[in-house]
Structure 1
Amino acid sequence: MSIDPSAIPNFGGRPEPEEGPAGPAPVVVPDQDLVKQLLDQMELKYVVDDEGDLAAPWEEFRTYFMFRGDEEQQVFSVRTFYDRPHGVDDKLRILELIDDWNRRTLWPKVYSHVHEEEEGPPTVRLIGEAQMLIGTGVGLDHFVSSTVSWVRASIEFDKWLVEQLGLEPGDEKPEDA
């Protein structure tokens, strides 16, 4: 059974794109090389970690561009690990803040993780994530615009959190850590 795309109603969304002289927009199955090209165009530095994942480091966080799953169910994930530690005693306040962010924004969806420190008490760390199913291919323009938006939103989350907590950019340690 196949679905006829023309049978799907348009509920006020954007009209179907018209084919230009070159035909429909290209569909690609993104890979790490495509992401590297995009990061180069964005003038962002990146590294490939020991596990083969692509990462763009910032001062307060690092963003990973990962491909997971099999060929037909492959997922592209942009995951940001925020390095600023928060005290475990502040977890409720942090959760209230990230719940507010998650309600008001599309991405990244942010969650917390209690990080066991080698020395000192455990801390709360935050992780932001956005994902796209890419197994059979996606429009190149959609992939590029989504990835760029996710990177920008990851940066904006860090700025927003600093503002919400009344921190100065670069404040690294919670009071009790």
Structure 2
Amino acid sequence: MSIDPSSIPNFGGQPDPNQPSGEASGSVVIPDQDLVKQLLDQMGLKHAVDDEDDLLAPWEEFRTYFMFRGEEQQHVFAVRTFYERTYSVDEKPQLHEAIDEWNHLTLWPKVYTNTDDEGAVRLIGEAQMLIGMGVNLDHFVATTVSWIQASVEFNKWLGERLGLEDATGEDDGDSED
């Protein structure tokens, strides 16, 4: 099973003139880790496999995992992003307000908070797809690419929403009084 580079969606661009319109493409496949690795390679994204045999793509401020869970018809593909920035428990109401806004305005990733035993609050974004009976390859590729882009966009959006970063994505060092 391999990914045709022309099947990677061109969001916001013009249609590929080499792709015949109306052509039936994208066979039904049961995606696996190797397929996701091929997609990440084609997107030019670094990736690794962790100790639990989950595929991950690291960014500076977060890491995204590509996980397969379940058996047969209940087989699920999940993309879960763990954002590195930590917050205090006192900041949780402000975070809830922001992520409620994000979850209301967007389809994915759905974001929630996780508080560890030491009281550090982190955000996690997640999207899932049932793949047990197979899925159209084009749909799988387009959805996975969209989920990755949305995970990146959420990180940028949250920084802007909370006033943590300037437009370049770097800490602006200013604080409001």
Give the TM-score normalised by structure 1: 0.80
In 2, Cα distance between the equivalents of 1:25 and 1:40?
19
Give the RMSD, CA atoms, in angstroms: 1.8
How far the C-alpha of 1:123 sits from its partner, in A, is: 1.4
In 1, Cα distance between the equivalents of 2:70 and 2:86?
31
In 2, Cα distance between the equivalents of 1:71 and 1:170?
44
State the one-letter code of the partner of 2:96: L
In 1, Cα distance between the equivalents of 2:26 and 2:51?
35
In 2, Cα distance between the equivalents of 1:114 and 1:25?
41
How far the C-alpha of 1:170 sits from its partner, in A, is: 5.6
In 2, Cα distance between the equivalents of 1:69 and 1:141?
23
3-state secondary structure, aligned to 1:80: strand
Rg comparison, structure with higher value = 1
Say whether 1:41 aligns with 2:42: yes
Q: Percent identity?
A: 66
Q: 1:160 aligns with which of 157, 161, 164?
A: 157
1:60–1:170 CA contact under 8 A, matched in 2: no
Which residue in the other structure is 1:8 paired with?
A: none
> What 5-or-longer segments of structure 1 have no aligned partner?
1-17
How far the C-alpha of 1:19 sits from its partner, in A, is: 7.1
How far the C-alpha of 1:64 sits from its partner, in A, is: 0.1
How far the C-alpha of 1:42 sits from its partner, in A, is: 0.4
Q: 2:136 aligns with which of 131, 135, 139?
A: 139
Which residue in the other structure is 2:84 paired with?
A: 83
State the one-letter code of the partner of 2:90: D
2:76–2:131 CA contact under 8 A, matched in 1: yes
How far the C-alpha of 1:131 sits from its partner, in A, is: 0.4
In 2, Cα distance between the equivalents of 1:57 and 1:26?
30
- The count of residues paired between Structure 1 and Structure 2 equals 149
State the one-letter code of the partner of 1:26: S
